[in-house]
Amino acid sequence: MTLNFVVPGDDFTRAGEASGAVKQKMKQLGFPSDVIRKVSIALYEGEINMVIHAGGGQVDVEISQDAIDLVLTDHGPGIADIEQAMQDGFSTAPDHVRDLGFGAGMGLPNMKKYSDEFHLESEVGVGTTVRMRIYNH
Amino acid sequence: MNVKELARTCGFSAAAGNASLQRPVTSVYCCDLLSFAMGRAPEDSAWITVMGNINSVAVASLADVACIVLSDGVQPDEAMLTKAQQQDIAVLLSDRPAFETGLAIHEAIRA
Ligand SMILES: Nc1ncnc2c1ncn2[C@@H]1O[C@H](COP(=O)(O)OP(=O)(O)OP(=O)(O)O)[C@@H](O)[C@H]1O
Ligand SMILES: [Mg+2]
């Protein structure tokens, strides 16, 4: 099953729609709750990053019995130093976003931690693509 | 102990929640940074924060905590309440600081 979502830029009231909908769907399909939790967290962090750092983007989800594939694509500014961005605590989030509770610099580390396979590709001035796979044990 | 009983025992008021008020609470977690809370708040915990905005509801839902407890007299904004009601996420309000709020919850669920 394929699900696609457009994530609007700078709209915190709508960020979380994709992860919320995927969570709902996985519940209906009877996936175990720990698998649902991993997918939900990984996807929400990705959505929020696109909202805050990339002016929005696109989410493509492929749900099968064995695994859930998440692909997040944006055409934002890209990430110059991926290794640095992946470090716990590194964040360039602006103050108005920090006031909302974001900017711990834990989003990408969470995505890596909660997915079984994690690939981040980014080019400055072109955009960022994150691919994650979570296995259904 | 469920969320409703916890609220009564600790003297918190409930600002949102329907069926979620019956959820069991098995631990307590405290952090205001959403990605921390998202990655570390245990399932079925009472999550204490001062972030009274809509994003807390998304985090609570995805991390599957039992309830949000807004400490230090923080009031949820309108968007948060609407979302919490829609998604049936229990939101409790505590006048006390985060540590004391957590201590009260800890004592209540151990009792
Ligand atoms: N899609 C993206 N486009 C451009 N830059 C990004 C993107 N995602 C992450 N980054 C960069 O990587 C940094 C680290 O991201 P990460 O998600 O770990 O932390 P954060 O978003 O700043 O804070 P948190 O996720 O804890 O709220 C960001 O501050 C930003 O500089
Ligand atoms: Mg982030």
Domain boundaries, chain A: 2-135
Percentage of residues of chain A with pLDDT beyond 90: 93
Looking at residue A16, what is its pLDDT? Answer: 87
Q: Which residues of A4-39 are buried (b: 16+ CB within 10 A; e: fewer)?
A: ebebbeeebebbbbbbbebbeebeeeebeeebbbbb
Please report which ligand is nearest the Cα atom of A99.
Answer: 1
In chain B, the number of structural domains is 1
Quick one: closest CA in B to A107, which residue?
A: B35
Q: Could you confirm whether domain A2-135 is CATH 3.30.565.10?
A: yes
The range of the structural domain enclosing residue B22 comes to: 3-110
Answer whether residue A11 shows pLDDT above 90: no
Of the pLDDT bands very low, low, confident and very high (cuts 50, 70, 90), residue A77 is: very high
Cβ–Cβ below 8 Å for A12 and B55: yes
Answer whether residue A39 shows pLDDT above 90: yes
Percentage of residues of chain A with pLDDT beyond 70: 100
Which CATH number characterizes residue B25's domain? Answer: 3.40.1390.20
Q: What gap in Å lies between CA A73 and CA A76, rounded to an integer?
A: 9
Q: Is A70 helix (H, G, I), strand (E, B) or coil?
A: strand
Q: Find residues 15-34 of chain B whose CB sits inside 8 Å of chain A.
A: 32-34
Tokens 């991390």 locate to B63
Considering only CA atoms, which of B29, B78, B35 is closest in space to residue B59? B35
- Asked whether this complex has an ipTM greater than 0.90, the answer is no
Which 8-state DSSP code applies to residue A9? T
Looking at residue B17, what is its pLDDT? Answer: 97
List the structure tokens of B46. 């009472």
A56-63 and A67-74 strand pairing: antiparallel
Using 50 as the pLDDT threshold, list the residues of chain B that sit under it. Answer: none
Quick one: closest CA in B to A33, which residue?
A: B64
Q: Is A59:A43 a contact under the CB 8 Å cutoff?
A: yes
Instruction: Determine the atom of ligand 1 nearest the C-alpha atom of A49.
Output: 8
Looking at residue B48, what is its pLDDT? Answer: 98
Residue-wise pLDDT for A55-65, tens only, equals 999 999 999 99
Looking at residue A10, what is its pLDDT? Answer: 81
Of the pLDDT bands very low, low, confident and very high (cuts 50, 70, 90), residue A13 is: confident
Is the beta carbon of A49 within 6 A of some atom in ligand 1? yes
Of the pLDDT bands very low, low, confident and very high (cuts 50, 70, 90), residue A127 is: very high
Q: Which distant-in-sequence residues (6+ apart) come within 8 Å of B86 by Cβ?
A: none
- Residue B58 to chain A, least CA–CA distance (Å): 6
